[in-house]
Amino acid sequence: MKTVYLDNAATTQIDEKVLEVMHASMQNNFGNPSSTHQIGRKAKSAVETARKNIANHFNVSASEIIFTAGGTEADNLILNNVVLNLGVQRIITSKIEHHAVLHTCTHLKNTQNIELSYVNVDEFGQPDLLHLEALLSNNTTKTLVSLMLINNEIGTLLNTKKIVDLCSAYQALFHSDTVQAIGHYPIDLQKTPIDFIVASAHKFHGPKGVGFAYFKKGFGVLPMFYGGAQEMGARSSTENVHAILGMEKALDIAITNLQRDKIYIESIKTYFIELLKNNFKDIAFNGASSNLQTSSYTILNVRFPFSNAFLLFKLDLAGIAVSGGSACQSGSNTGSHVLLEILKETDTDKTSVRFSFSKFTTKLDIEYTIDALKKQIPSLT
């Protein structure tokens, strides 16, 4: 049976060149970066070189990059710091953020008594800028705005410049969960001065369990846990050297080939949309996920005109890996909080499937998926 992987928004296949770098590091660079002997210093040098190279991709200094175990930890580190360390008393976010942000904000509201506000979003997942400005202008307390650059379920692209301009005008800090964007879109933090961003290597063909948080220079970092005072005192724990070097390599490959891969993956997404429209009646695309200008080229969220709780299971039996929403909610029967927020009530009980693509996706994968869908839902053809 053929296997088709269309769940790249959940995680991506590790690039072979990344595996080579990690394997070499495991063999030849096994020292603890905190050790003072030459083997430890070699590991420390490799980590710091990786930090510098990663920082260069975003036009920032190495001291602004803190290595973490992934995007969720990075979001938590930032959100806890802005409240406990930087004096933020109010957070404005949206109800369609990743749970790494939503649940952390709720926790901070419950434990630190911060004010938590939600900006309205439209049916495409775009924040209402007039509402955001009203929220910012009606408060004088120190505020953080937290809005993700690309929504992980519907692929909506944030109008980052307008958010940056509003935050600047009202002296608010700006944090963006950029997990779905890094490695797929260029981010120059001098041209687009976001205060805090995050990354997770497994979203751009790197290893799982490693990422980073970017703290704009001038913001001290209070650690969430204590021990060895690694990462300039911001994150205790022996650095995951092999994974960090793998992330560095994966990011370098992604950014070097960004435009080429973007053109290719856009062609895959366009081809899939065409085949879906040509082969199935009454399907719809959630948010703006079918629009290549306003949504990520890696994500397509399709809504079928029926409710079929077994569609994902049957696709899995056919060898096709997809998601019904965020992979972080796998096994949950509560439904997608994103779709519940943006869809009309009459559409929320219909079956939606998130298909997400990478440089390894082929047109044959797309054709095989269309054929499998035809077998499962012949009444729509």
| Residue 112, strand partner residues | none
Same-domain pairing of 216 and 342: no
Answer with the one of 235, 256, 277 that is the final residue of a domain.
Answer: 256
Same-domain pairing of 275 and 315: yes
Residues 6+ apart with CB under 8 A from 217: 60, 61, 63, 64
DSSP string, 290-354: T-TTTB-TTEEEEE-SS--TTHHHHHHHTTEE-BSS-GGGTT-SS--HHHHHHS-GGGTTS-EEE
Answer with the one of 212, 232, 256 that is the final residue of a domain.
Answer: 256
This prediction's pTM: 0.94
Number of residues in the chain? 381
Q: Tell me what pLDDT residue 327 has.
A: 43
What is the C-alpha to C-alpha distance for residues 232 and 67, in angstroms, rounded to an integer? 10
Interval 210-254: pLDDT, tens: 999 999 998 889 888 899 889 988 899 999 999 999 999 999 999
Same-domain pairing of 345 and 249: no
Cβ atoms of 11 and 358 within 8 Å: the answer is: no
Same-domain pairing of 291 and 227: no
Same-domain pairing of 132 and 239: yes
* 114 sits in which H/E element: none
Same-domain pairing of 206 and 59: yes
Cα pseudo-dihedral 36, 42, 48, 53, rounded to 10: 170
Same-domain pairing of 339 and 234: no
How would you write the pLDDT of the chain (381 residues) with one tens digit per residue? 799 999 999 999 999 999 999 999 999 999 999 999 999 999 999 999 999 999 999 999 999 999 999 999 999 999 999 999 999 999 999 999 999 999 999 999 999 999 999 999 999 999 999 999 999 998 889 999 999 999 999 999 999 999 999 999 999 999 999 999 999 999 999 999 999 999 999 999 999 999 999 999 988 898 888 998 899 888 999 999 999 999 999 999 999 999 999 999 999 999 999 999 999 999 999 999 999 999 999 999 999 998 888 999 999 999 999 998 544 544 455 689 999 999 998 898 899 999 999 999 999 999 999 999 998 887 766
Instruction: Give me the CATH number covering residue 77.
Output: 3.40.640.10
Count other Cβ atoms within 10 Å, centred on residue 347. Answer: 14
Residues marked as catalytic: 328
Same-domain pairing of 230 and 354: no
Domain span at 336: 4-12+258-380
Answer with the one of 204, 225, 256 that is the final residue of a domain.
Answer: 256
Strands 299-303 and 352-356: antiparallel
Instruction: Give me the CATH number covering residue 356.
Output: 3.90.1150.10
Cβ atoms of 65 and 54 within 8 Å: the answer is: yes
Same-domain pairing of 203 and 148: yes
Interval 98-121: pLDDT, tens: 999 999 999 999 999 999 999 999
What is the C-alpha to C-alpha distance for residues 239 and 227, in angstroms, rounded to an integer? 13
Same-domain pairing of 218 and 270: no
Residues 6+ apart with CB under 8 A from 178: 148, 149, 150, 187, 194, 197, 198, 199
What's the number of domains the chain is made of? 2
Cβ atoms of 67 and 234 within 8 Å: the answer is: no
Cβ atoms of 101 and 146 within 8 Å: the answer is: yes
- For residue 174, the 8-state DSSP code is E
Same-domain pairing of 69 and 47: yes
Same-domain pairing of 80 and 126: yes
